[in-house]
């Protein structure tokens, strides 16, 4: 055998090995396990819809079955506790937004988990904004209209929020102080039951994410009247920001991402992150996420962790300044 042919054989063997590695399922699932994506809110809400949208293309990208499991309750606390108890092998992930990771640990004395200790950021895929929306049963079609209507009702109104001690609750408190009204935050077990009451005109308004509200806003069944963030949303160009309405302090935007149990191998985390990047780059997926009101963009685990820390610091100050006492 010549040196040249031996060299060619070595290159061919190496190439086949690399191709096999690319085609094979990632190591944690080589035995045929299923990837479970935990969602801390009920079916029908914005987070659940996002998880189910991503699950199928993630299955194709990872080469293993991917399912969504709802562990609803306590603003994502139950799902976070389930993630903490899961094996650190990449087979259990948690798709969530800022509330469970950044807010809950600051408003509860013992949430049953410590994000910095118990979890590792896998990858982020979007940011979004929260919004104030009014039910179709009110005559209001804008923020000032809603405030005027509340004054006509004696200055008191209930506003739904997806979870207690959440960003929406602190926003309701800020609006009440700013407008000198008695606005009462009414907590629900997720956005889906809150939306049901809003659509049934059981409650005049609610605060939630744009993804929660956007479809019913487009259908004219409710009306988004103000959004958080530094600029107006592309899907809602006529809706002012809270800053435009002289309600400051709500400019930082929350995030969506995947988290895994601490101790999950780095190679597995990187493989999931790469798969998610591939998924959100698909035009069909990107278009559907954008239509939900998300600003889509892949973040590595490190980038997501940095965003989470910065966001948490901002809200630690807001919560502290509000005088809220952890429960």
Share of the chain above pLDDT 70, in %: 90
Q: Is the pLDDT reported for residue 8 higher than 60? A: no
Give the Cβ contact number of residue 269 at 10 Å. Answer: 19
pLDDT digits (tens, 9 = 90+) for 92-118: 999 999 999 999 999 999 999 999 999
State residue 75's pLDDT score: 86
Residue ranges, CATH 3.40.190.10, the chain: 130-245
State residue 50's pLDDT score: 95
Q: Is the pLDDT reported for residue 220 higher than 90? A: yes
Give alpha helix (H) positions in the chain. Answer: 3-23, 46-62, 77-85, 98, 104-107, 115-118, 143-152, 167-179, 191-199, 210-218, 266-280, 283-291, 301-322
Q: Are 108 and 289 in contact (CB under 8 A)?
A: no
Q: How is domain 130-245 classified at the architecture level of CATH?
A: 3-Layer(aba) Sandwich (3.40)
* CATH fold for domain 31-127+254-322: D-Maltodextrin-Binding Protein; domain 2 (3.40.190)
Q: How confident is the model at residue 11 (pLDDT cuts 50, 70, 90)?
A: very low
State residue 31's pLDDT score: 53
State residue 20's pLDDT score: 40
Could you give phi then psi for residue 300, rounded to 5 degrees?
-65, 170
Question: Would you mind telling me the total number of residues written for the chain in this entry?
Answer: 327
H helix or E strand, kind and range, residue 119: strand 119-127
State residue 33's pLDDT score: 82
Residue ranges, CATH 3.40.190.150, the chain: 31-127+254-322
SS3 for 64? coil
The C-alpha atoms of residue 269 and residue 307 are separated, in whole angstroms, by 18
By CB atoms closer than 10 A (0-12, 13-18, 19+), residue 155 is middle
Average pLDDT of the residues of the chain = 90
pLDDT digits (tens, 9 = 90+) for 249-291: 899 899 999 999 999 999 999 999 999 999 999 999 999 999 9
* Residue 36 structure tokens: 């479970």
The C-alpha atoms of residue 239 and residue 247 are separated, in whole angstroms, by 14
State residue 27's pLDDT score: 55
pTM of this prediction? Answer: 0.82
Q: Is the pLDDT reported for residue 163 higher than 80? A: yes
The C-alpha atoms of residue 229 and residue 218 are separated, in whole angstroms, by 20
Q: Are 199 and 274 in contact (CB under 8 A)?
A: no
Query: How far does CA 45 lie from the centroid of its chain?
Result: 11
Mean predicted confidence (pLDDT) in 169-188: 95
Q: Strands 92-97 and 35-39, how do they pair?
A: parallel
* Residue 216 structure tokens: 């019913």
Residue 253's nearest CA partner among 203, 211, 201, 225 is 211
């Amino acid at each position: 055998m010549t040196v040249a042919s031996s060299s060619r054989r070595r290159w061919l063997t190496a190439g086949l090995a690399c191709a096999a590695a690319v085609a094979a399922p990632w190591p944690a699932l080589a035995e045929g396990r299923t990837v479970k994506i935990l969602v801390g809110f009920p079916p029908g809400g914005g987070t659940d819809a996002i998880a189910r949208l991503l699950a199928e293309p993630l299955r194709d990208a990872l080469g293993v079955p991917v399912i969504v499991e709802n562990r609803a309750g306590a603003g994502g606390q139950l799902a976070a506790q389930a993630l903490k108890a899961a094996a650190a092998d990449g087979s259990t992930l948690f798709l969530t937004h800022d509330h469970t990771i950044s807010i809950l640990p600051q408003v509860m004395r013992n949430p049953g988990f410590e994000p910095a200790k118990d979890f590792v950021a896998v990858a982020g895929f979007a940011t979004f904004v929260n919004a104030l929306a009014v039910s179709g049963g009110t005559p209001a079609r804008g923020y000032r209209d809603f405030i005027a209507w509340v004054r006509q009702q004696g200055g008191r109104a209930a506003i739904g929020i997806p979870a207690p001690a959440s960003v929406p609750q602190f926003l309701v408190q800020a609006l009440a102080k700013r407008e000198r009204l008695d606005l009462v935050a009414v907590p629900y077990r997720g956005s889906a039951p809150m939306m049901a009451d809003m659509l049934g005109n059981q409650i005049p308004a609610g605060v939630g994410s744009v993804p929660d509200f956007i479809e019913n806003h487009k259908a004219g069944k409710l009306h988004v009247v103000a959004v958080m963030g530094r600029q107006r949303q592309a899907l809602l160009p006529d809706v002012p920001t809270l800053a435009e309405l002289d309600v400051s302090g709500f400019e930082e935007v929350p995030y969506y991402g995947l988290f895994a149990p601490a101790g999950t191998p780095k190679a597995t985390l990187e493989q999931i992150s790469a798969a998610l990047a591939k998924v959100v780059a698909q035009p069909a997926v990107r278009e559907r996420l954008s239509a939900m009101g998300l600003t889509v963009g892949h973040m590595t685990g490190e980038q997501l962790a940095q965003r989470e820390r910065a966001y948490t610091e901002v809200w630690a100050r807001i919560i502290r300044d509000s005088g809220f006492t952890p429960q």
